[in-house]
């Protein structure tokens, strides 16, 4: 097996030429899991990156002046897309791994630790989340940043996304509890003008909200006023805590008022009524599932709503949610959803003689890539290895001890691989991980900041 993504010399050559907008990088001899429905899986194939864009896919490519990267024995895959993560909490990751319910999380994190966060803590948590995402193959991450206590808190969260190099979506929301400046949602206009002026950039902006006022009051609940704010700014909307009967009624109200559509994402969507799901499907509203969050924390029914989504014609994206209680990688989300749905499908027809309707590894990889990009409003840029899209891709070693021999490429990505097998990650054509190491990170300095932030947050009196 030859894999030039283990070569420091090749990386040095790439980085010396990174300022060239027409730089060409040719990956040769790989198995391509494109996730493009019109292309599929291609074996012993080449992929050409020009600047930040996928320029060509096919066998035997030989463009002049390209940096050649022998990727024999590897799988090239689109980067994963995380549609929902509260990144600011990451310095408290696994603080409550056995949290009993949503109420326990809300009391401890949102009514407690969140109230003492400084802009520095927002920056550190968000940067740690984004770098960890890149390490595990997530190239596009939506940060549901619901602790925006001041403009400086928001600036810190956005700057962390910039500094990480991830394709970031900053979804801004005011905090649930404690003192804050009440600058949200008005501050979204300032944020857009300062950081999000063009569509052809790594960062995008969304408005974040809750489904109902049950947890934190009506000011944070999605409705006509917030929908108007998003429309005026021409940004998408991500709605969290979409659970049960109250959210079902809210969905029907949004549908009646024309507040649903492809630029709106509903997160979790557990325990919704059939009427609510019909409204979601009819309006082409997107859905973000959080498989481990729903099951482990026990959100409403505790069952990820994959069957309901598919029945309504919705192919969802996947999200991580909260690292204070959950794993932070997309491999875990794919495997959890794959196992839970297939278990329930067989159980539902046990003893009847009817065949179970089961999702596949291709389905969950689609949710984690192309459908995630669509959910985040970035499907024209990322989510598949498609000529003309941005070069957000993974190089996965298929001949490592835990993967060899390569039989089914999609199955190998979903069921066999993890972060240790990801040799390289490119975001927008730039190497962000190489030879198994995230680049441009002063790990000792980051570690010091993470520990200092954690100690400050955990030892400060909460409001």
Long-range CB contact pairs, 443-446, < 8 A, 24+: 446/127, 446/128, 446/131
* Full DSSP string of 188-220: HHHHHHHH---SSSS-EEEEEEESSSTTT-GGG
Tokens for 138? 């997530």
Q: Are 367 and 311 in contact (CB under 8 A)?
A: no
3-state secondary structure of 77: strand
Asked if the peptide bond before residue 243 counts as cis, ω within 30 degrees of 0, the response is no
- Decide: 145 and 209 in contact? Cβ < 8 Å: no
DSSP annotation of 66: P
DSSP state of 383: S
Strand ranges inside 245-301, DSSP E: 264-270, 286-289
> What distance in Å separates the CA atoms of residue 143 and residue 151, rounded to the nearest whole number?
16
List the structure tokens of 279. Answer: 């409204």
- Residue 172 and residue 345: Cα distance in Å, rounded? 37
Strand, coil or helix: what is 84? Answer: strand
> Which of 291, 260, 264 has the alpha carbon at shortest distance from 278?
260
By the 8 A CB rule, do 375 and 286 touch? yes
Angle formed by the axes of helices 443-459 and 119-135, nearest 10°: 130
Token couple for 367: 């949710």
End-to-end CA distance of the chain: 57
E strand residue ranges, 173-297? 204-210, 236-243, 264-270, 286-289
Helix (H), strand (E) at residue 463:
none
How many whole angstroms separate alpha carbon 145 and alpha carbon 170? 7
Q: For 61-106, how does the pLDDT look when each residue is reduced to its tens digit (9 = 90+)?
A: 999 989 999 999 999 999 999 999 999 999 999 999 999 889 999 9
Show the tokens assigned to 294.
Answer: 């729903």
Judge contact between 390 and 382, C-beta under 8 A: yes
- pTM of the entire predicted model: 0.97
Task: Give the pLDDT of residue 1.
Answer: 52
Q: What is the DSSP string of 311-369?
A: HTT---EE--B-TTTS--SHHHHHHHHHHHHHHHHHHHHTTT-PPP----HHHHHHHHT
Q: Are 48 and 66 in contact (CB under 8 A)?
A: yes
CA proximity to 263, closest of 195, 200, 169, 175: 169
**Dist. CA 107–CA 112, nearest whole Å:** 6
Classified as helix, coil or strand, 27 is strand
| Distance (Å, whole) CA 363 – CA 375 | 15
- For the chain, domains (ranges, CATH) are 4-78+384-438 (2.30.40.10), 80-375 (3.20.20.140)
Q: Tell me how crowded residue 216 is: count the other CB atoms within 10 A of its CB.
A: 20
Where the chain has pLDDT below 70, the residues are 1-3, 17-18, 463
Angle at 54 between CA 159 and CA 428, to 5 degrees: 10
């Amino acid at each position: 097996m030859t894999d030039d993504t283990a070569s420091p010399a090749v990386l040095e050559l790439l980085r010396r030429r990174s300022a060239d907008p027409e730089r060409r990088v040719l990956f040769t001899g790989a198995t391509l899991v494109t996730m493009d429905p019109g292309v599929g899986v291609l074996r012993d194939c080449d992929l050409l990156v020009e600047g930040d864009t996928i320029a060509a896919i096919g066998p035997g490519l030989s463009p002049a002046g390209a940096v050649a990267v022998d990727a024999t024995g590897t799988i090239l895959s689109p980067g994963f897309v995380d549609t929902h993560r509260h990144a600011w909490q990451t310095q408290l990751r696994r603080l409550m791994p056995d949290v009993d319910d949503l109420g326990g999380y809300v009391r401890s994190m949102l009514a407690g630790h969140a109230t003492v966060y400084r802009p520095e803590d927002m920056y550190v948590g968000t940067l740690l989340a984004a770098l960890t995402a890149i390490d595990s193959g997530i190239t596009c991450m939506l940060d549901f940043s619901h602790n925006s206590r001041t403009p400086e808190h928001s600036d810190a969260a956005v700057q962390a996304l910039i500094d990480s190099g991830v394709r970031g979506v900053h979804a801004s929301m005011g905090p649930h509890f404690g003192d804050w400046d009440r600058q949200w949602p008005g501050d979204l206009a300032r944020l857009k003008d300062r950081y999000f002026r063009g569509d052809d950039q790594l960062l995008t902006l969304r408005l974040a909200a809750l489904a109902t006022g049950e947890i934190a009051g009506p000011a944070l609940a999605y409705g006509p006023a917030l929908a108007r704010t998003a429309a005026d700014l021409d940004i998408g909307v991500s709605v969290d805590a979409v659970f049960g009967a109250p959210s079902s009624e809210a969905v029907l109200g949004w549908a009646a008022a024309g507040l649903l559509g492809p630029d709106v994402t509903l997160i979790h969507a557990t325990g919704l009524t059939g009427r609510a799901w019909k409204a979601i499907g009819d309006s082409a509203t997107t859905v973000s599932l959080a498989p481990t969050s729903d099951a482990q924390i026990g959100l409403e029914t505790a069952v990820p709503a994959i069957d309901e989504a598919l029945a309504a014609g919705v192919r969802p994206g996947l999200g991580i949610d909260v690292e204070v209680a959950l794993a932070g990688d997309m491999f875990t989300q794919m495997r959890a959803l794959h196992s839970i749905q297939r278990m329930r499908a067989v159980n539902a027809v046990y003893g009847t003689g009817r065949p179970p309707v089961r999702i596949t590894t291709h389905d969950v990889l689609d949710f984690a890539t192309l459908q995630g990009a669509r959910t985040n409003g970035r499907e024209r840029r990322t989510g598949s290895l498609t000529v003309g899209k941005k070069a957000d891709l993974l190089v996965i070693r298929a001949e490592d001890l835990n993967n060899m021999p390569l039989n089914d490429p999609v199955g190998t990505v979903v069921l066999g691989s993890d972060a240790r097998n990801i040799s390289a990650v490119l975001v927008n054509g730039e190497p962000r991980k190489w030879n198994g190491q995230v680049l441009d990170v002063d790990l000792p300095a980051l570690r010091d900041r993470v520990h200092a932030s954690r100690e400050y947050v955990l030892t400060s009196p909460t409001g």
